[in-house]
Amino acid sequence: MYLRNLMSMDTEEMIKAQPIDACVMIGGCDKTVPAQLMGGISANKIVLPLVVGPMMPGSFKGTRIGACTNCRNHWASYRGGEVDIEDIAGINDELAPTAGTCGVMGTASTMACITAALGLMPVEGASAPAVSSARLRVAEQTGSAAVTAVGDPSRKPQSLLTRDSLINALTVLQAIGGSTNAVVHMMAIINRHPELTGTITLQTIDEIGRNTPLLVDLKPSGDNYMTDFHNAGGMAALLHTLRPLLKLNARTITGETLGGWLDAQPFTTFPYSSKLIRPLSDPLYENSALVVLTGNLAPNGAIMKASAAKDRRLLEFSGPAVVFTDTADLSRRIDSEELDVTPDSVLVLQNVGPIGNPGMPEAGVIPIPRKLKGVKDMLRLSDGRMSGTAGGTIILHISPECGILESPFGVVRDGDVVECSVKERRLHIRLSDEKLQDRIAARKEALSAKSKLVSRGRILGEKRRGYRALYENTVNQAEQGADFDFLTANGSVNM
């Protein structure tokens, strides 16, 4: 988020500064597309995202592989002694065989699908491979749509996007088993819109999930790649399948409604398509691919991609915490033979939230300790993020983060019993309210004794200057989008 917010400011100011009627925004990996959407909404000129598209999969010993779900799975196997150095080197050579973004349903592809669902770009653009001729057609369609939109103020993003548009995008997010990062990005996008800020919360996303099945069989929740999704009909096929769940009056950048576009672009499914993009009656996962958890450990919410859990018993689980205070502590101790950990431990990583690292890095995929040979998954918690290509039973975006003085997550200790229940949407530490508050008070005293800089309830550690000072003093929490408070539609109350 550290540089996403900077990119969004750059996008907004560049669009505002130029005497243009419409802007085509070329983006691709992870944070570029949300940064452009955030800046484009704030600038409020006609904007059309043009994403670069996913890479093709590679092959190793006859098995298809690709960035970056296979990166993580094979690296975990290498750490566990199941893959030797020669094979891991050969795998590495094939993980990114062409240009393009990660070839699975990671953050880049998730944001591309969401952008298409918002009605801001041609639907084929969400999945067409970067090296395909379809990319040229998508570029031409985007340019044509930009020219056609000029002069129509209703196609500016603050007019075009409505709550129905957002509901459609979040329905698609659940149906594709999209990246958890999309949640924090979508909250930032929503809170840039003057009319929509505050109308969608984490609970809205969870409610949509309860009514939306996972339909798309792609890694990390499934088995396939973005090229397969594209060949199965891509977003056109998915939107037709999801039609009963969508808000058909939402408008698109072409001036049509979503319902009108679906009527004008019929899609007839075929066996390969229905295998990759399941019908509503035969989903890959019944509902709630992404879930929102709350409790005394995460009063303001936390996110889990339940559909990507490798050991489903961990979705209803309790165990003793093994706490790492930051990424340096994790690096030092995770592979130590002296680490007091068992397969039933809960791995906890603190201080990787929006303020804490800073920037909320993708550190949430805590490695399985090397001493636990053969263990494929453990319950893992952090206030940070993880790559959208990753899988496992991993709880992220815990809020308030450790960088907030009142954070319950900031006072978790080794041995504390952590309870997770996806059914109850609950994340809890087995401590009384009184004990929890005592720990928070003790933490405040300890920070004061160490002369740590605390400003407006934020633990900043020391005086900063420049962009880092701006970032740490104004970034908001994950459930708000980890955006700068002064860039939101409501503006800052602290500047």
pLDDT one digit per residue (tens) for the chain, 495 residues: 999 999 999 999 999 999 999 999 999 988 999 999 999 999 999 999 999 999 999 999 999 999 888 888 888 888 888 899 999 999 999 999 999 999 999 999 999 999 999 999 999 999 999 999 999 999 999 999 999 999 999 999 999 999 999 999 999 999 999 999 999 999 999 999 999 999 999 999 999 999 999 999 999 999 999 999 999 999 999 999 999 999 999 999 999 999 999 999 999 999 999 999 999 999 999 999 999 999 999 999 999 999 999 999 999 999 999 999 999 999 999 999 999 999 999 999 999 999 988 999 999 999 999 999 999 999 999 999 999 989 999 999 999 999 999 999 999 999 999 999 999 999 999 999 999 999 999 998 988 777 678 888 888 877 888 999 999 999 999 999 999 999 999 987 555
The SS3 of residue 166 is helix
What does the alpha-carbon distance between residue 320 and residue 315 come to, in Å, rounded to a whole number? 15
Query: Following CA atoms 46, 48, 49, 52 in sequence, which dihedral angle do they give, to the nearest 10 degrees?
Result: -150
For 85-108, b/e burial (b = at least 16 CB within 10 A) is: eeeeeebeebbbbbebbbbbbbbb
pLDDT score, position 494: 59
- Cis check: omega of the bond before 400, within 30 degrees of 0: yes
CA–CA distance from 297 to each of 17, 21, 406, 428, 431 (Å)? 44, 48, 11, 5, 10
Entry pTM: 0.96
pLDDT score, position 103: 95
pLDDT score, position 493: 58
**Burial (CB count <10 Å: 0-12, 13-18, 19+), residue 63:** exposed
What does the alpha-carbon distance between residue 187 and residue 190 come to, in Å, rounded to a whole number? 5
CB atoms inside a 10 Å sphere around CB 257: 17
Alpha helices in 344-424 (DSSP H): none
CB atoms inside a 10 Å sphere around CB 82: 12
CB atoms inside a 10 Å sphere around CB 431: 19
What does the alpha-carbon distance between residue 273 and residue 259 come to, in Å, rounded to a whole number? 21
The SS3 of residue 75 is helix
- 460 is written with which tokens? 């900043």
